[in-house]
């Protein structure tokens, strides 16, 4: 009988040992699955220098030092909420709702980690101030931004983008100080259906005239 008990005991101990080992492995997260926290320093390096080994060009060439572009053809990115920047880069990469040949090619080379790093870096930068240039439309632009267009059921921009245009993190982008020409171009793109990555903005822009779009875009450029 003793040999039988000994064998049974050994079998039991082995079974328990394997079970405990299995629990230990299950409790330990699989290596390589945890996401690294966004790194602003890495974002700055990629933004300023690109990554020649991966064929990634520096963002600074178009969007300027610290995200403050020097020309209206390229949007200002400084101070933008990281979550918004990441979403736009992913939309460019997907190429469906925000098609753009240049940004599509650029974002195609970026990983999710790259996007998060660059987004965090830009969020920490200080935006340059802009100015409204058309005195004749300041009043109309202000009226639309702060009160909307009641007759067309166009909501006030301030409701989502805040009274001073800084937006709401993870929901609505910062738009204050943005180049008027860029804002105008985006509203027209929403209206035409060329840009489709915001249901709200497509609905709003579809009801606005060229004059209204130009007026509010100019007003936004001078927001503080």
Local structure of residue 56 (DSSP, 8 states):
B
What average pLDDT does range 178-202 have in this prediction?
98
Domain boundaries, the chain: 40-123, 135-221
Over residues 205-215, the mean pLDDT reads 98
Beta bridge partners, 100, equal none
Residue 13 pLDDT exceeds 50: no
- The CATH architecture one would assign to domain 40-123 is Orthogonal Bundle (1.10)
pLDDT (tens digit per residue) in 25-72: 344 445 556 788 999 999 999 999 999 999 999 999 999 999 999 999
Does the domain at residues 135-221 carry the CATH identifier 1.10.760.10? yes
Contact 215, 147 (CB under 8 A): no
pLDDT at 17 (0 to 100): 45
Q: Do domains 40-123 and 135-221 have the same CATH topology?
A: yes
The per-residue pLDDT for range 113-126, each reduced to its tens digit, is 999 999 999 999 99
**Burial bucket for residue 165 (CB in 10 Å: 0-12, 13-18, 19+):** buried
3-state helix, strand and coil shares in percent for the chain, rounded to the nearest 5: 60, 5, 40
**What span, in angstroms and rounded, lies between the C-alpha atoms of 121 and 39?**
8
Helices of type H across 35-172? 40-49, 60-63, 82-94, 101-107, 112-123, 138-147, 158-161
**Average pLDDT of the residues of the chain:** 89
In tens, the pLDDT along 71-120 reads 999 999 999 999 999 999 999 999 999 999 999 999 999 999 999 999 99
Q: What is the pTM (predicted TM-score) of this model? A: 0.84
Q: Is the pLDDT reported for residue 20 higher than 70? A: no
Helix boundaries (H) for 55-111: 60-63, 82-94, 101-107
CA–CA–CA angle 144, 88, 35 (5° rounding): 135
pLDDT for position 30: 52
Q: What is the largest distance, in Å, between two alpha-carbon atoms of the chain?
A: 105
Q: Residues 12-31: what's their mean pLDDT?
A: 42
């Amino acid at each position: 009988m003793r040999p039988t008990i000994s064998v049974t005991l050994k079998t039991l101990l082995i079974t328990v040992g394997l079970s405990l080992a299995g629990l230990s492995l299950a409790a330990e997260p699989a290596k390589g699955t945890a996401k690294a926290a966004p790194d602003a320093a890495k974002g700055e390096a990629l933004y300023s220098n690109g990554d020649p080994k991966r064929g990634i060009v520096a963002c600074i060439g178009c969007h300027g030092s610290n995200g403050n572009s020097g020309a209206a053809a390229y949007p200002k990115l400084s101070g933008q909420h990281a979550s918004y920047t990441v979403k736009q880069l992913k939309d460019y990469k997907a190429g469906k709702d925000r098609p753009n040949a240049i940004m599509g090619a650029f974002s195609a080379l970026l990983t999710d980690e790259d996007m998060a790093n660059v987004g965090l870096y830009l969020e920490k930068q200080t935006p340059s101030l802009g100015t409204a240039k058309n005195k004749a439309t300041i009043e109309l632009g202000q009226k639309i931004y702060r009160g909307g267009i009641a007759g067309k059921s166009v909501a006030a921009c301030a409701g989502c983008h805040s009274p001073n245009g800084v937006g709401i993190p993870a929901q609505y982008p910062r738009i204050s100080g943005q180049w008027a020409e860029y804002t105008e171009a985006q509203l027209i793109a929403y209206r035409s259906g060329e840009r489709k990555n915001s249901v709200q903005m497509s609905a709003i822009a579809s009801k606005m005239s060229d004059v209204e779009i130009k007026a509010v875009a100019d007003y936004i450029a001078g927001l503080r």
